[in-house]
Amino acid sequence: MPKLPPKKGKRIDRINTLLIDGNALFKRGYHGSHDAYNKEGQHIGGLYQFITILKKLLSEDVYHRVYVFWDGEFSGKLRYTIYKDYKSDRGKNYETGTKPDDMDEKLQQYMVKEYLYHLSIRQIEDDVVEADDYIAFYCNNKADNEDITICTSDRDICQLVNDNIKIYLCDKKVYLTKSNYNEYFSHHYTNIALIKTITGDNSDSIKGIKGVKENTLIKHFPQITEREVKLEEILIDAQKIQEDRTLNKKKPLKALDNILNSVTDGIQGSKLYEINDELVNLKKPKMTEKAIKHFYDVIETPLSDDRSIMNVYKMVKRDSLDDLIKEYYMSDYFLPFKKLIDRDYNKN
């Protein structure tokens, strides 16, 4: 796929882009703001927190473009076709779609999308493609003069960290970079996909090698904490360790035998490494031709003229959102968004 063209603007050598994992940010706000009600008694915590966290990010750095990526109704289906247990503990139904138990959640998410539209923030969604994959696709094809910040709470996306990509972990309220990665994780920043390929991912119901966790790998293969490591190196080193133990008349280690023989409780069988790499490796995002076309259509399409910050002010009054932002003047609260809109329209 072609890389995105260099971003242009007045007197700008580098462009700063913010990518938002929409579902991760919305769910954090929705489920974490139980007491956020307007004067009509309507819960608007999801909307309020989403806009407020986005405002915080826009206040802390100068972004020239912001994109929000959403999971579609059947998102994950591309992985489900590879591995039928994918996200099986979340009640996902890839045939009929997954309806939210709380219709208020669906309504608030719709409201967030409406606000973002009028704040001139581009949004991308596809029925079967996950937001992670869209974000990874963007990062894998970013322009050479582009720096990226990703807002998420999903640790899978941390594998995208590099010199020009950092993560804002909205649950920890910290920026994760290549330099500080080991303050939060035990492994080298390049090895998260490798570790998940071997150990699986409980949050997505992906089984790994039986009896092997991250600390098992670090114990026997400490280079995982120091530099990028490939699966082939792990297998070669595991074989050497077992052979040395045999020569020294020690019993082979069960965990290493399992690694060498792809022993798992999962349905992947002997193809575990191949299948898990397809599931977890965001260097190979799961995209369709339709989703890719939509991606390129949205990325640089000029915004329509019906969008307006004044429309946002009207919606704030309509939804009584001003009950929650009352410590600010309306124009002050939305000033970071106004600056973003101006940069977008003026390309500076």
Answer yes or no: is pLDDT of 3 > 80: no
Per residue in 82-131, pLDDT tens? Answer: 999 999 877 677 776 655 556 788 889 999 999 999 998 999 999 999 99
**C-alpha distances out from residue 186 to 2, 130, 177, 196, 219, Å:** 35, 27, 14, 14, 11
Answer yes or no: is pLDDT of 262 > 70: yes
Q: What is the pLDDT of residue 95?
A: 72
Read off the pLDDT band of 12 (50, 70, 90).
low
| CB-based contacts of 102, cutoff 8 Å, min separation 6 | none
Parse the chain into domains and list their residue ranges.
Answer: 15-185+283-346, 189-280
Q: What is the pLDDT of residue 306?
A: 81
Mean pLDDT estimate for the chain: 90
Answer yes or no: is pLDDT of 347 > 70: no
Closest CA to 336 of 128, 63, 85: 63
Q: How far apart (Å, rounded) are the C-alpha atoms in residues 165 and 18?
A: 10
Answer yes or no: is pLDDT of 336 > 90: yes
Closest CA to 205 of 302, 92, 127, 73: 92
Burial of 17 (0-12, 13-18, 19+ CB in 10 A): buried
Q: What is the pLDDT of residue 348?
A: 43
Give SS3 for 126: strand
Residue predicted with more confidence, 199 or 40: 199
Answer yes or no: is pLDDT of 72 > 80: yes
What average pLDDT does the segment 7-36 reach? 82
Q: What is the pLDDT of residue 100?
A: 53
Residue predicted with more confidence, 205 or 42: 205
Q: Which CATH number fits domain 15-185+283-346: 3.90.1150.10, 3.10.560.10, 3.40.50.1010, 3.10.129.10?
A: 3.40.50.1010
